[in-house]
Chain A
């Protein structure tokens, strides 16, 4: 590390953070100097978000130390981080849409006498802060919900400044912005840095990092792979190599050779599918026994494609054919009846009935099968549930167990079992291994392959490129809602996919 006379503004050493079943951070180092723009790079799941949350006091590290200007500190609470001068601007803006700009900026520390807000002073200060950010035109009295995304971002930054922040963390601030708005964002960041504020900047876009960043820290699998690389001169190939080289290799099941699987009939066909604002004119088809993987960044429209096919979102245009016959758009009931199953991205909020048992979560999509003359056959239901639990090797194998007590991997198996029981022909999987620990992943991979071998057509979406590459037979690469590349999985590697999604350049 560079030997400077002054200690760095922030130094994190050997930070470890464990969640049940997952070691999210496994010894992370980060060093940020006053007045620099420090870029944090890493694939999804590398531990960036967890690191930010440790830094903002939302998570407590299990091991490791945090030095602020050379002094060890403990961030027991978000307010403790704020008091030090750490402000975080999250990806999803945490503003209250109904409150005015000024009220949002001073939320929690409103200037007040005897509990009565001093509105005049608040508006004056808000105007001054917005002026410093080069956006004096944003009216302090306007409800934040009525502002465009870029202006909301400025309000977030004004809020950070109102806390006299000395270190501002920005989590993918450019994701929601148009090109010229990004230019303005960079101008603000440079001005902040010039006044001695340190910025930790997270983005997937390498070109941005080259333009705005001073130094880069690369995270992978919860570990620091490189510290303090010069942002402008490090070759792209080196950065990508640091981000990708696997420390833990998952074992993927063997897939049949490309020549072997072409025989299956076409089961699912998507023609010109468009979903408002997210997906544009996507077409592809899936044969029985085939896994098609979709790779792309957050916000590239990955999930929206699946939701559009399944009818969870009504598509703007295009149609979906199942076994040659068109599917009624925008109806999940129709999709399920025609033999489609969907394992959504957010397991707990979108897939599971958290108040119910494992067995009932498995049978919920097949209930009508157990009714005869209005009478519900509970014995047959629990027998079927038990059978599926055995089929997907869900543990513990107790259908009566509340589903909320299962690990992420076993909850995902319950969702798979739901669609197996339904005997679906097409299975749409959105981030099937999110929140699943390493051991259980290999097992899930093996099951997905086994399902395909049994004749299912599977569409797999994952933010983890190796997963898509290792599991799928064919790959669709997605960028800004469009398929920019389609090929057999054996014809492309992780490097190639990342190049495509990040730079947009062809191989």
Chain B
């Protein structure tokens, strides 16, 4: 993709001292600014007691994946990994890690990628892959922040973003399910093309959002928790319900686990496969609204490498990359592991290269633990 720095449009450049307005929508920058913003706010400090809560989340996730036993162990590995990370945080930067504001920060960091990961979980359980999610976010954010869109007001901006994401997902789905093309290649192609279209639309410039109502999506807090985190939570709950409590969810497992058997059982496998990518695109549209509000801009560089982060979180969360088995809660635990790492590195002022090395190492470590666990509990 382009390495060209995004020159803010003349006359529109935001004051440098407002941390949320980041003209260069660079991902690492965004995260660090966000962290600095939270630190500056200096919210109430105190020992954070929600570790047990996270553990409980993992415990419930055990029964949700469609297979018992192995599921609990998968999530156990993740909960342990989270525990170790929190231990590291408490030891290295106890005073700033174990605070409510820091925990809120971790959840805010997790919100956008978390929503994308829910969609990705559906696609992967259904036996597919979606590499285009990051680029879809970029396109949705750019399209919803064009001068024309912004003139119509925040409601239209949100609608545009979700619609663009959903339609791109539909295109992916049609090509894969009815064009009978390989998902990896189709979404690779749409990833490149959509990112290009986003650059074309925005002329590679960051489009500053002017509507305050829209920006308030990122700034509103209820009970000390950002609205973004509530959106994230709502998408997770909805995703969990659809996957575990609806026909659609059950068919997703069937289609991913054995498409031929699903077809012979009378399930319309093509239609279902297509819909999975629509779900993923829809989630990208929502994520784009959140990211645009958070970064205060629409930019074609939004969502860089989100596809890899989302896939990593899904796989670390215990979902089989071959489809047919997995859970939303595992994926969310995966997201939390990665955002906690990010948080730890910010607090300890470590550089992003080291953070990336650590992330890679953790992916491998968690997968090895899961492989070891599955080798004992599952006989093939």
Contact = CB atoms under 8 A, between A and B. Distances in A.
Interface string A390-429: 0000000000101011000000000000100000000000
A378 B258 contact: no
B133 to A, nearest CB: 25
B250 A402 contact: no
B178 to A, nearest CB: 14
Contacts of A375: 245-246
Interface stretch (B154-162, B263-271, B287-295, B344-352): B263-271
A82 to B, nearest CB: 28
Interface stretch (A2-10, A192-200, A224-232, A352-360): A352-360
A234 to B, nearest CB: 43
B113 to A, nearest CB: 27
A400 B68 contact: yes
> Which of B250, B266, B324 has its CB near the most chain A CB atoms (within 10 A)?
B266
A356 B264 contact: no
A333 B67 contact: no
Given A364-B254, A368-B247, A376-B245, A336 B260 contact: no
B246 A333 contact: no
A351 B325 contact: no
B66 interface: yes
Interface in B221-271: 245-247, 249-251, 253-254, 257-258, 260-268
B325 A355 contact: yes
Contact of A353 (B68, B257, B380): B257
A333 B268 contact: yes
A337 interface: yes
A374 B246 contact: yes
Given A368-B247, A374-B246, A353 B254 contact: yes
Given A310-B264, A336-B266, A350-B261, A356 B246 contact: no
> Which of B66, B258, B267 has its CB near the most chain A CB atoms (within 10 A)?
B258
Contacts of A368: 247
B67 A353 contact: no
Nearest to B266: A336
Contact of B263 (A312, A354, A371, A405): A312
A288 interface: no
A163 B264 CA distance: 43
Interface string A330-366: 0011011100001010000111111111001000110
A258 B151 CA distance: 80
A360 to B, nearest CB: 7
Contacts of A90: none
Interface in B107-165: none
B88 to A, nearest CB: 35
A310 B260 CA distance: 13
The majority secondary structure among interface residues of chain A is helix
A370 interface: yes
A404 B70 CA distance: 15
Contacts of B265: 332, 336, 351, 364-365, 418
A367 interface: yes
B247 A370 contact: yes
Contact of B66 (A335, A351, A355, A418): A355
A332 B324 contact: no
A318 to B, nearest CB: 20
> Which of B257, B262, B264 has its CB near the most chain A CB atoms (within 10 A)?
B264
Contact of A364 (B68, B260, B262, B320): B262
Contacts of B320: 355
A98 B257 CA distance: 29
Contacts of A418: 265
A335 B264 CA distance: 10
Interface in A307-331: 310, 312
Interface in B62-105: 66-68
Nearest to B268: A333
B246 A351 contact: no
A338 to B, nearest CB: 10
A204 to B, nearest CB: 28
A376 B249 CA distance: 10
Contacts of A376: 245-247, 249-250
A340 B257 CA distance: 23
Interface string B308-345: 00000000000010001100000000000000000000
Nearest to B263: A332
B67 A402 contact: yes
Contacts of B251: 367
A353 B265 CA distance: 10
B324 A355 contact: yes
A367 B250 contact: yes
Nearest to A312: B264
B344 to A, nearest CB: 35
Contact of B266 (A335, A360, A404): A335
A352 B66 contact: no
A360 B267 contact: no
Interface in A246-293: none
A332 B266 contact: yes
Given A332-B266, A364-B265, A353 B253 contact: yes
Given A349-B260, A356-B257, A365 B266 contact: yes
Nearest to B258: A353
B326 to A, nearest CB: 10
> Which of A310, A344, A376, A405 has its CB near the most chain B CB atoms (within 10 A)?
A376
Contacts of A312: 263-264
A349 B250 contact: no
> Which of A337, A355, A357 has its CB near the most chain B CB atoms (within 10 A)?
A355
Contacts of B261: 349-353, 364
Contact of B257 (A335, A337, A350, A355): A355
7 contacts: A350-B261, A353-B258, A353-B261, A353-B324, A356-B253, A356-B254, A404-B380
A-B interface, 10 closest residue pairs, ranked by CB to CB distance from nearest = A336-B266, A365-B265, A367-B247, A353-B257, A355-B324, A371-B247, A333-B268, A355-B257, A376-B245, A364-B265
Given A333-B266, A376-B250, 11 more contacts: A332-B266, A336-B266, A344-B264, A349-B258, A350-B264, A353-B254, A353-B262, A356-B67, A364-B250, A365-B267, A404-B379
